[in-house]
Structure 1
């Protein structure tokens, strides 16, 4: 039995600040994906919703919320929350149901209506959560964390403000070509440098916004895809949702080896490296096989880190990879040709799904002016709070 599932349809509601309900965005994305797949809503055997904690109770039961809005027709329903990794967890749940024979066709939907300003802790007190403590005890919002991470890259690897600016320049150029992006304007390195400092050394244009938006996928068994007349669909080959491995209790940095480490445990790889490694191992490929990647560029510095975590280059070589043009359209491994979060902003439960949408369009050859020539293998990657890993590998 193949572990692949087919991606029959992909759809999005454009990102922005629309001031409407997340349900509206998710339903629009779902209908777009169903139309793209040529599948009627009544053919869907299951719907998986990625939750948004900002949507009140309907957001906590997003699967049922979207099912009701689309019209109850008896489908199974699942709701998933995993912070920034919610969308990939939803894809994993859908994939598992298909491979288990519980449904032939599953609709995956994520949408958000984000508040103005930086995200704050939600869901009550969590004194055992390091991210909650970062907010409450240190007063360190996400941009503060991003700034500290950027400073570390500058100190350890010699990255420069110009390197960070060039990530934004690259991604803004791609976002300008994407009709679903919120920001569709090219920027220059000079404009990035002139933007207000938010969390030293990062400027306003180095950090992603918070946004409204939605994304959806129609997944199916390979047998259903063939019956549906799709002989060579994009296929999801791997979904990594791993957690950190003890004694690596710091999610972003390798821990020093200790006598407490269990046999075979790595103390030198970061959590993000383990996310990528698990995806590669499940898919039976390596970074050298990739055609395109979509990564969570919460900040420009973080995109450079993902280059290394995905093993697109060696440790400390992310900025060089960027300078060489390898991650730009036309380079040997284009990254964030959608425009990334730099162009979209965060609509948290939708973004990991949106990454798979972009990979799907790339592998189909349907990405228009931002198309990666000959794309055949793509990876998505992000990390959610509290140890939620997320990477998806799709092939054609």
Structure 2
């Protein structure tokens, strides 16, 4: 298909709390991706950096920051910020440059050095930012936000804290097999239940940590891949970055101070479902074609929502699907075979890039003990702040 671009290389820096700057992590991930691709740094004609506003000026100009760290060689640069969707939008930017003929080879890098504890708004006061207002005026940090979604599932569908705990158990088992994960020990449901309550009904082990980490991809045109003798490369076939339709149709905290005029008729689906649908439509596939999925388990309850939103089951059926083992390694459609954010924690600009790194490894058959047999099609999905979201479809 004319919209395909090749994934020639994928590289990561292990997640954790390493006490170094995001540039160091990004440089290491970039070198790993270049080595994996067999591409020399001078061959890269564009660098797209996923921004991290916590990194100060170097973070705001992440593309140029990583190009400088690797050594000035004349490549064009771009920088993208979209909260948790930053990495996917950076991939979309790289893909657009390749398809437009502006560059044959593009390096995408996302890296972060995250603070401890709950994320707080960065960059000073932002009274025109509804997410800043949610933090500062309502006192609703992200775990509180996740807790509301969990309570909603319990009220609507009968989900239980025990269901949520099973998500952590599943993802921890996969993360124990991933050398890049921060947490590499199996977890039991009893350990989840015994962990501290953070935002009722979610406990400490239901919520992902904040982490340092980095991920990078080398993308190219299909023509370049053929010239380099790469047969049947993993291909990015679709990137969805759609925004919500108004009015909002799911329970959420209000966007204080936003225009209440109706822009379009209400959507019959959630914002997350619309992200996935747009990716499926562009790729010409459906959820029945999936071999695996990487979704944002910011909390255990949110992973269950993603099962429904990417079409693995109907509304309210996420916990039932989980209990069948369908989304575990060895199941019908493994979800978060990487271990997910439960095992990695959040390194915001790197997360969506890391999801595609996992798809690339799985579709190449190089995921080791985590390998999904016969993997051919994968999707990533996430939702960021301020209406950002993304989904990427990769095929082989």
TM-score (norm 1): 0.96
Indicate the residue corresponding to 2:145 in structure 1. 145
* SS in structure 1 at match of 2:327: coil
Q: Hey, what's the Cα distance between the residues in 2 that align with 1:238 and 1:249?
A: 25
* SS in structure 1 at match of 2:8: strand
Indicate yes or no: 2:172 matched with 1:168: no
Tell me the alpha carbon deviations over residues 16-51 of structure 1, each in whole angstroms, 9 at most, x when there is no partner: 000000000000000000000000000000000000
Q: Contact conserved, 1:296 with 1:303, CA < 8 A, in 2? A: yes
Within 5 A, what are the aligned runs for 1:31-110? 31-110=31-110
Q: Hey, what's the Cα distance between the residues in 1 that align with 2:160 and 2:248?
A: 28
Q: Contact conserved, 1:252 with 1:270, CA < 8 A, in 2? A: no
* SS in structure 1 at match of 2:32: helix
Tell me the alpha carbon deviations over residues 106-149 of structure 1, each in whole angstroms, 9 at most, x when there is no partner: 00000000001110011233334332221011111111111111
Indicate the residue corresponding to 1:346 in structure 2. 346
Q: Contact conserved, 1:251 with 1:270, CA < 8 A, in 2? A: no
* SS in structure 1 at match of 2:351: helix
Q: Contact conserved, 1:46 with 1:103, CA < 8 A, in 2? A: yes
Tell me the alpha carbon deviations over residues 245-297 of structure 1, each in whole angstroms, 9 at most, x when there is no partner: 223376869xxxx99564xx443211111101100010011000000000000
Indicate the residue corresponding to 2:22 in structure 1. 22
Which 10-residue stretch deviates more, 40-49 or 134-143?
Answer: 134-143
Q: Across the two proteins, how many residue pairs are aligned to each other? A: 390
* SS in structure 2 at match of 1:153: helix
* SS in structure 2 at match of 1:106: strand
Within 5 A, what are the aligned runs for 1:1-396? 2-248=2-248, 260=262, 262=264, 265-396=265-396
Q: Call closer, same or farther: CA 1:105–1:251 in 2, change over 3 Å.
A: farther
Question: Runs of 4+ in structure 1 displaced over 2 angstroms?
Answer: 123-130, 246-253, 258-262, 265-268
Q: Hey, what's the Cα distance between the residues in 2 that align with 1:330 and 1:249?
A: 35
Q: Call closer, same or farther: CA 1:294–1:252 in 2, change over 3 Å.
A: farther
Q: Contact conserved, 1:292 with 1:379, CA < 8 A, in 2? A: yes
Which 10-residue stretch deviates more, 140-149 or 110-119?
Answer: 140-149
Runs of 5+ in structure 1 lacking a partner? none
